[in-house]
Each structure stands twice: as C-alpha cells, then as structure tokens.
Amino acid sequence: MSIGIVPSILAADFTRLGEQVRAAEAAGCARIQVDVMDGHFVPNITMGPLVVEAVRRSCTVPIEAHLMITQPERYVADFAQAGADVIIVHLETAPHLHRLLQQIKGLGKQAGVALNPATPAALLDEVWDLLDLVLVMTVNPGFGGQAFIPATLPKLRSVRRLVNERGLPCDIEVDGGISAQTIGLVAAAGANLAVAGSAVFNDKAPVAETMAILRRAVE
C-alpha cells in the first residue's frame, strides 16, 4: 500500500508556519491543505486567502483549499488567485454543485468535493465527470484532533469502487483522525491521499519524524 500524506496547517504552529510548511515539503508531503472554516457551516473560524498566499510563498507542492463554508461560490476565485491548486467544496453547502465545479475548473484549478460522514456517495452520481478529487470526511468537520469514525470506511470503499468502475483519474482523499493507527485502514479501503494535522504538526517530534512514522504505518 502507498498513500500520499497531506499535512493540514490547522495544527501547525502559526508563529513558525513557513518553517513548518517547508519541513513538511522536505519530508516528502504530497500536498499541503489549508482548512477554511466560517463559523456557519462548521462551529469554528480559521483562515482565508491571505494564509494561502503565505503558504504558497513557502512551498512548491500543490496547495489544497478545503472550504468548510457556506456560499463557497462567492470565494473560490479569491482562493484561486491566492495560489490554491485544488479547491474542495462541501456537497452539503452547494445546491448548484455542477455550476460550482464548473466555476472552479474555469479558474484553471482542480475541483474536489467533500462528503461529511452522514452524506452518501451516491449524491455524486451526476458530477463524476467534473471531479478531480473526492474527500471522504472521517470526522465531522470543524475541529482538529477528533477521533476517527470507523463507520466511514464502507463509504470510502464504495467511492474507490465507483472511481475504478468509471476509470476516472480522480484522487480519493480522507480527512479526520488520521494517525499511525488509522492511516493503514484508509489506505486499504482505497484512499490515495490522507490529510493529517496533529499527527504531523505537534510538539512531540519534528515534522520529518512524524511524517516517517505515518509512512512506516503503511509499509
């Protein structure tokens, strides 16, 4: 099994953000994720396009903007301009999802859709041709450091099966509760990208070491 690690800067030390992003890139991360929360769709407020700009200046790997916000169509252009390579929106916030994905792709960016734990994968049936990434949330979004929800694994397997059956070049990502104990489970279930926050950025070990621990867990 192999899986790309996508550090989430939600868990980073913002007094050393550039340093930690560079350390993650040096340790071989696949991407960097910026978690954007608005206090409406999720009960937390985090960061916006200015942080994406700062991360863009600090690394060369692709940047994902995970928009956990209402009315994402109002903001996708700002995140695209700030330097995000992949823009992920929540199906639950997008009544006009087809139009929104077209908007993202029209900006020259990869388009992703995130599914909360209670949202079925079948709701993607009409937009598969527009998707570059499906993000299966393995916690309920809003806060870092939550416990992994094992009941999301069948949905992850279903998404992998649907992507394979259609022969789509679509990444399958997971986000929430990813650690050395859970990363092997999601890799076996079909994910090729795993977002990790506190498992990468913490005060127990340097980033190079935490990334190595996650890699060893899927060898």
pLDDT tens-place string over residues 141-167: 877 778 999 999 999 999 999 999 999
Judge: domain 4-216, CATH 3.20.20.70: yes
Q: Which of 13, 38, 175, 203 is catalytic?
A: 175
pLDDT digit string, tens, across residues 89-129: 999 999 999 999 999 999 999 999 999 999 999 999 999 99
Residue 135: predicted pLDDT: 98
Q: Which of 35, 38, 132, 171 is catalytic?
A: 35
Active site residue 78: no
26-40 average pLDDT score: 96
Please tell me the distance from the alpha carbon of residue 166 to that of residue 65, in angstroms, as a whole number.
Answer: 26
Please tell me the distance from the alpha carbon of residue 218 to that of residue 7, in angstroms, as a whole number.
Answer: 16
**Domain extent listing, the chain:** 4-216
Taking a C-beta distance cutoff of 8 angstroms, is the pair 140, 92 a contact? no
Residue 76 has pLDDT above 80, yes or no: yes
Residue 8 has pLDDT above 70, yes or no: yes
Residue 178: predicted pLDDT: 97
Residue carrying structure tokens 């388009």 = 111
pLDDT digit string, tens, across residues 178-196: 999 999 999 999 999 999 9
**Phi, psi angles (nearest 5°) of residue 112:** -125, 155
Active site residue 175: yes
Strands 86-90 and 63-68: parallel
Residue 1: predicted pLDDT: 66
